[in-house]
Structure 1
Amino acid sequence: MNRRWVILGAAMLIQLCLGTLYAWSVFVNPLKIAYGFTNTQTQIVFSLNVAAIALAVLFAGRWQDKIGPRKVIVFGGLLFGGGYLLAGLLSQGSFAVIVTGIGIISGIGSGFAYISVVATGIKWFPERKGLITGLIVGGMGSGTIIIAELSSHLIQQVGVLGTFTAFGIVFLAVVIPLAMVFKNPPVGAEAEKIEEPQVVMKKEMTRREMFKTMQFWILWTMFVCGASAGLMYIGILKSFGERLPGITSVMAGAAVAIFALGNTAGRISLGWLSDKIGFRKTLFFMFITQALMISALVNMISPYNFWPDFLPIFYQPSMAGLGVVSAWMGFNFGANFSLFPSATAKSFGIKNLGANYGAMFTAYGIGGLIGPIINGKILDRTGSCLYAFILAMVLCFIAALLSLCAKEENRRKDAYPE
């Protein structure tokens, strides 16, 4: 079997494990009930995990560009699984130990593994940057579905800490062996000596050169807005659903799975679409529809109804409304992780993609610190997520406007032959 297809499969399986992050809302209520965590504390764990991933990506991207992906993924796998083992075996429910193990150590490990598999995949499939990125990071969305359901069952059987321990063992057993198949394509050659008819790449930029461009800061700010908005919803999705009238715990769990399905579909579909129509138009579509969907969520929980009469599912909390919102928000949120790597590669080149996307990915960490913690504090003080969701809607509108300022080279008609 051709090596690049083996690498693609391994990358998707590793990303499936990394999808544990987006199932975090399943752990929120059990931690509150068993160990007295506040909403803010649960979101601090989640936010620090996101921030740690972004910080790790910043350094890991350049490291894997220099030494190759294999060692970086092994190192990341050890930290990723080890952090869960620390929380499960040694925490005894301590917030400090759980936030250290899962929030920081596991987050750092996830970042090292994440950037290495994404950058390597793009290097092996240069002719389909958007689609391949979508397929790889789509594994993370698929993992959320599996892990959310598995977590719910394990928590009932062995408790929260037992679930952390089981995950730690599985992650070590999966990620480290799969890392052995990774390597960069030969220097100076494409993966299969593909003759690329797409747009001739502008100058391959270093990270320092990239920082001097307005394009980088426009994309980075958009990523901050999109990450903040999406993570506000993801971090509390199940507990938020359980608080809505008429929504049971099972229904709220189904909303997490629906979000994950949308997450996976968005990563692949909009990654493919960006290869066809360009990342600029795709980003605008993603952010404007995300803002509209969050406005539907606001309408559903607000005392004031402003959505059209022919859409009654958004007039009050219902499983239909929660399901539609979760699916579409997952679809658009997931697309961030195929569109921004692709936009980085197309704007600044492939040679230094690990380092450059590592810098771009810091936006995700900033979004992770802003969104979930603000939402947790608002929820603790007001008992409602209404004002946090209004903020998320505004952020998406801002990102949509910024996408109109981004630049993209004109594409030749034969850029992506069928």
Structure 2
Amino acid sequence: MGRGTWLTIDLRRPCPLSRDRGSTLLSGRDHASSPGVGRLDEMLPCLVHWVRIAEFWRNVMKRYGILAASVVIQLVLGSVYAWSTIAQELTSLHGFAAWQTQFIYGMIIFVFSVSLILGGRLFRKRGPRYTATWGGILFGSSYLLAAVLPLEPLVLIFLLGGLSGFSIGLGYACPLSTGVAWFPKHKGLVTGVAVFGFGGGAILANQVYVQILASGGSVQQIFLLTGAIGGGLVVLSAQVLALPDKVRSLSSTAVPAIQQGFLKSPSFWRLALGLGLGSASGLLLIGRAAGIAVDLGFAESAAAALPAMAVAAVSVGNASGRLFWGWLNDRIPGLTIPLSLGLATLSALGLLLAGTSPVLFIILMAMSGLLFGGSLVVYAAHSELVFGQGALARVYPFIFMFYGAAAIIGPSLGGVMYDVTGNSTGPIILAAALPFAGLIMTTVLRRFESTEVNQAATAEEQGSQALA
């Protein structure tokens, strides 16, 4: 069967096994009893057509089954962003200091971003199923151990900050790289769908955690549930992951020239600085969402509900932004980076003017979440666009390290400014300055990128031909 022949099936072509020429491959008639059956030259064309139909639907089901499994994995791993609910319980009932809970959270994000490099290498050598399976095993084990061992800061720093952060790094790269390999013409949207789960997981996990605590449950029960069910879902979903038949392992394909020595590339630093500065602003606002709502001094009738509404608005924006920016990136890829950084600057500055309007405040916080969620899609999609096929596993983990640094630097600087000034004006101005600096830097570095993009386009065309 020649290349691509299964894509051009004429289902209304008369089936040669029937003397009734009105009978087609879609008619569903039983040809077994038709006169004249038995001649091999009449049977073969019909059989070939049915084989092509079966092959077509097998590929369709496999592609979308893998995409669904990718979303499930990201939903589980994204539960880390519901940490604020656990942190509040640790400080109020178990004697943890606020800085200890935030340090555990910062460690999870930092270790996650660093271990993504190892996850990418393991993905290239052993494939997505092996890598994601071990990610699920370690993720489940870290929470199960945290559920049964003493609830102490050092224990949680090691188990959650270290072990679960490492497991997320192993599991995160697999859905992204595998999905893009199956949908090479829709990199942005597929990346958005995959990481939508990572943002949506926080919303789902937070609802579950709140219900457990409201019904008299404990943090240990949350850890037990997350480890048993979450870890199990990742392991089961990992068994569905597989690369296309002609790309069994990215390590077996030739490394494009542009991916060799990428650390010296202006393109790498454009993406790394854009992601780092943009996400630092988003993380600062996410971490201070409830505090900003209190500091802006709304009327008492609104002030009581606004902190919780602000957190919800950021979470919904974060999740939906991954889908929206993935869709937009497929249509105007050259504009999504400057557009997202510019809008992040304006939305942060708008918070300074929202002190008299709770509605405007909620809209701007949702916009901040939308732009932060988009940053985890746009730069991943651009890494493949600029550096060619396989860049998500080979180059993007190094770009993602700047997100890990942003997770520590952005919220910490915002906290220091709040401690010094006693209000949220300084942190808001910083949240606007960071993406503005990113906008300037990425615009300057873009001027040196044209030659590299041409090289990547050639490599991408060769990769797409290999998948055809």
TM-score in terms of structure 2 length:
0.76
2:123 corresponds, among 51, 58, 64, to 64
Structure 2 residue 335 is the aligned partner of structure 1 residue 252:
no
Q: CA RMSD in A?
A: 2.6
1:39 partner amino acid: A
1:214 partner amino acid: P
CA shift for structure 1 position 135: 0.8
Structure 2 residue 176 is the aligned partner of structure 1 residue 118:
yes
Distance in 1 (CA, whole Å) between partners of 2:414 and 2:153 is: 19
CA shift for structure 1 position 390: 2.1
Deviates more, 1:67-76 or 1:249-258: 249-258
Can you list the C-alpha shifts for 1:264-297, whole angstroms capped at 9, x where unaligned? 221111111111111x411111111111111122
Paired residue total:
384
Distance of aligned partners of 1:338 and 1:16 in 2 relative to their CA distance in 1, 3 Å threshold: same
How does 1:201-240 map onto structure 2 within 5 Å? 204-205=256-257, 207-238=259-290
CA shift for structure 1 position 56: 1.0
**Please, which runs of 5 or more residues in structure 1 have no aligned partner?**
190-202, 300-306, 308-313
Is the Cα–Cα contact under 8 Å of residues 71 and 193 in structure 2 kept in the other structure? yes
Distance of aligned partners of 1:379 and 1:153 in 2 relative to their CA distance in 1, 3 Å threshold: farther
2:322 partner amino acid: R
How does 1:252-291 map onto structure 2 within 5 Å? 252-278=307-333, 280-291=334-345
Structure 2 residue 211 is the aligned partner of structure 1 residue 153:
yes
How does 1:12-161 map onto structure 2 within 5 Å? 12-92=71-151, 94-156=152-214, 157-161=216-220
Is the Cα–Cα contact under 8 Å of residues 207 and 359 in structure 1 kept in the other structure? no
Distance in 2 (CA, whole Å) between partners of 1:390 and 1:50 is: 24
Counterpart in 2 of 1:358? 397
CA shift for structure 1 position 327: 0.9
Distance in 2 (CA, whole Å) between partners of 1:123 and 1:188 is: 8
2:98 partner amino acid: N
Can you list the C-alpha shifts for 1:366-398, whole angstroms capped at 9, x where unaligned? 111212333344455655443233222111101
SS in 1 for 2:218: helix
CA shift for structure 1 position 153: 1.9
1:114 partner amino acid: Y
Distance in 1 (CA, whole Å) between partners of 2:116 and 2:71 is: 18
Distance of aligned partners of 1:241 and 1:338 in 2 relative to their CA distance in 1, 3 Å threshold: same
1:182 corresponds, among 231, 241, 245, to 241
Distance in 2 (CA, whole Å) between partners of 1:392 and 1:114 is: 27
SS in 1 for 2:160: helix
CA shift for structure 1 position 365: 0.9
Deviates more, 1:33-42 or 1:70-79: 33-42
2:437 partner amino acid: I
SS in 2 for 1:122: helix
1:104 partner amino acid: G
2:229 partner amino acid: V
Structure 1 moving runs of 4+ over 6 Å: none
Distance in 2 (CA, whole Å) between partners of 1:222 and 1:361 is: 11
Structure with bigger RCO (C-alpha 8 Å, 6+ apart): 1
Distance of aligned partners of 1:319 and 1:160 in 2 relative to their CA distance in 1, 3 Å threshold: farther
Distance in 2 (CA, whole Å) between partners of 1:80 and 1:361 is: 20
Distance in 2 (CA, whole Å) between partners of 1:57 and 1:260 is: 23
SS in 2 for 1:65: helix
SS in 2 for 1:127: coil
Counterpart in 2 of 1:296? 350
How does 1:331-346 map onto structure 2 within 5 Å? 331-346=370-385
1:288 partner amino acid: G
CA shift for structure 1 position 96: 1.4
SS in 2 for 1:182: coil
Is the Cα–Cα contact under 8 Å of residues 205 and 352 in structure 1 kept in the other structure? no
Structure 2 residue 440 is the aligned partner of structure 1 residue 401:
yes
Distance of aligned partners of 1:362 and 1:174 in 2 relative to their CA distance in 1, 3 Å threshold: same
Distance of aligned partners of 1:385 and 1:138 in 2 relative to their CA distance in 1, 3 Å threshold: same
Deviates more, 1:379-388 or 1:335-344: 379-388
Is the Cα–Cα contact under 8 Å of residues 26 and 152 in structure 1 kept in the other structure? yes
Distance in 1 (CA, whole Å) between partners of 2:347 and 2:240 is: 41
Structure 2 residue 363 is the aligned partner of structure 1 residue 324:
yes
Deviates more, 1:94-103 or 1:358-367: 94-103
Distance in 2 (CA, whole Å) between partners of 1:160 and 1:380 is: 29
Is the Cα–Cα contact under 8 Å of residues 25 and 237 in structure 1 kept in the other structure? no
1:62 partner amino acid: R
Distance of aligned partners of 1:243 and 1:60 in 2 relative to their CA distance in 1, 3 Å threshold: same
Distance in 1 (CA, whole Å) between partners of 2:305 and 2:209 is: 13
SS in 2 for 1:181: coil
Is the Cα–Cα contact under 8 Å of residues 25 and 236 in structure 1 kept in the other structure? no
TM-score in terms of structure 1 length:
0.84
Can you list the C-alpha shifts for 1:318-357, whole angstroms capped at 9, x where unaligned? 6424421221011100111111111100111113430211
1:315 partner amino acid: G
Deviates more, 1:373-382 or 1:352-361: 373-382
1:164 corresponds, among 210, 219, 223, to 223
Distance in 2 (CA, whole Å) between partners of 1:381 and 1:102 is: 31
Distance in 2 (CA, whole Å) between partners of 1:84 and 1:384 is: 36
Query: Percent of pairs identical after alignment?
Result: 30
Deviates more, 1:361-370 or 1:205-214: 205-214
Distance of aligned partners of 1:210 and 1:82 in 2 relative to their CA distance in 1, 3 Å threshold: same
